Chains A and B, each alone.
Chain A
């Protein structure tokens, strides 16, 4: 798939599967699952370091920065102020201006607060950040995010960690027709077919965490997701046949007795 790279804000990505680094048993499992997924973008959270346990390892020791683009998120931020603060801290902790912006609206659904998201995105874009917004499956909000300068949008498939798959394929299709930037389906994917479907609709990439980390065998699921994203992408580019109500014979009638 190298001849089909994903390009966002001048950056070229090899893989159309992006993965999170949360919920794994340990850093070794994290590293192995990411490797199996083939992802070259990995999301991380920004949190206080453990200063009481001096021997505690750092996730970055397990992720080669030459191999992966580290994409910090603002998960857990419920206000514009917090999301902006965490984005700035992420930039200070890392080396790039990339941020996966989340402004969460509600604890139960973890749905984005899209009004807050747009406000925070405006502030961060003015400060030179490359803002990749985690947003709802709302085409109007997606359009607004692009209009204010987001170089990609990341609509959810379903609530974070829910594994429900794409709950609103029609909205996703409208988003894909509405915006002229890459669309990365983020959150809610449950299994390989969900990821393949997102790519078949024309999504440019899929980001997931729980679907892999929460699987009984995360490494095997990471591999399944890699194949699913590649298969979905190829099927999208190949162009599926139209759906028809009645049969069309595949074998010729000529030559029959």
Chain B
């Protein structure tokens, strides 16, 4: 299946849960927020949430920032 992760096309094997995707990307689930097709997932849903062909996935985290926009 084809999914878009943070704006980039990815080819992935099904089934693929959010937890597995984060593992593949070397990301720690407790440090990120995941939005799929504009819906924000609860962290507790990561292990059971299966990604589907065409999904648009956004993975965000806290970055340096304060007052600057």
B51 in the interface (beta carbon within 8 A): no
Question: When each residue 21-58 of chain B gets 1 if its CB lies under 8 Å from chain A and 0 otherwise, what string results?
Answer: 00001111001111100001111000000000000001
Chain A contact residues (Cβ within 8 angstroms of B): what range? 35 or more
> What are 24 A-to-B residue pairs whose CB atoms are below 8 Å?
A22-B66, A23-B68, A44-B62, A44-B66, A45-B63, A46-B60, A47-B60, A47-B61, A47-B65, A49-B6, A49-B25, A54-B25, A54-B26, A55-B26, A60-B31, A75-B67, A89-B35, A90-B33, A90-B62, A160-B69, A161-B67, A208-B66, A209-B65, A210-B66
Cα A55 to Cα B66 with chains together (Å): 24
Asked if A48 and B66 make an inter-chain contact with CB atoms under 8 angstroms apart, the answer reads no
| A75-B65, A75-B66 known, 18 other contacts, Cβ within 8 Å | A19-B66, A20-B64, A22-B64, A22-B67, A47-B61, A49-B27, A49-B32, A51-B5, A54-B26, A58-B61, A60-B61, A75-B69, A88-B40, A93-B32, A93-B33, A186-B67, A210-B67, A210-B68
Residues of A within 8 A of B13 (CB): none
Which residues of A from 98 to 113 have beta carbons under 8 Å from B? 102, 104, 107, 110
Residues of A within 8 A of B7 (CB): 48
State the A residues within 8 Å of B (CB). Answer: 19-24, 27, 30, 42-49, 51-52, 54-55, 58-60, 70, 72-73, 75-76, 88-90, 92-94, 102, 104, 107, 110, 160-161, 186-187, 207-210, 213
Chain B contact residues (Cβ within 8 angstroms of A): what range? 20 to 34
Beyond A46-B33, A51-B25, whether A20 also contacts B66 by CB under 8 A is: yes
Residues of B within 8 A of A93 (CB): 31-33, 60-62
**CB-CB nearest 5 A-B residue pairs:** A20-B66, A45-B65, A209-B66, A93-B33, A92-B33
Asked if A59 and B59 make an inter-chain contact with CB atoms under 8 angstroms apart, the answer reads no
Cα A160 to Cα B61 with chains together (Å): 23
Beyond A48-B6, A49-B6, whether A22 also contacts B65 by CB under 8 A is: yes
Cα A75 to Cα B67 with chains together (Å): 7
Asked if A44 and B64 make an inter-chain contact with CB atoms under 8 angstroms apart, the answer reads yes
Beyond A48-B58, A49-B6, whether A30 also contacts B64 by CB under 8 A is: yes
State which of B31, B59, B66, B69 has its C-beta within 8 Å of the C-beta of A104. B69
Residues of B within 8 A of A104 (CB): 69
State which of B26, B28, B60, B68 has its C-beta within 8 Å of the C-beta of A209. B68
Beyond A75-B69, A76-B69, whether A51 also contacts B64 by CB under 8 A is: no
Chain B: which residue is nearest A110 at the CB level? B69
Residues of A within 8 A of B58 (CB): 48
Cα A96 to Cα B62 with chains together (Å): 13
Nearest CB of B to A66, in Å: 14
Asked if A94 and B64 make an inter-chain contact with CB atoms under 8 angstroms apart, the answer reads no
Nearest CB of B to A254, in Å: 55
Residues of A within 8 A of B34 (CB): 92
Nearest CB of A to B7, in Å: 8
Asked if B62 and A23 make an inter-chain contact with CB atoms under 8 angstroms apart, the answer reads no
Beyond A58-B31, A89-B40, whether A48 also contacts B62 by CB under 8 A is: no
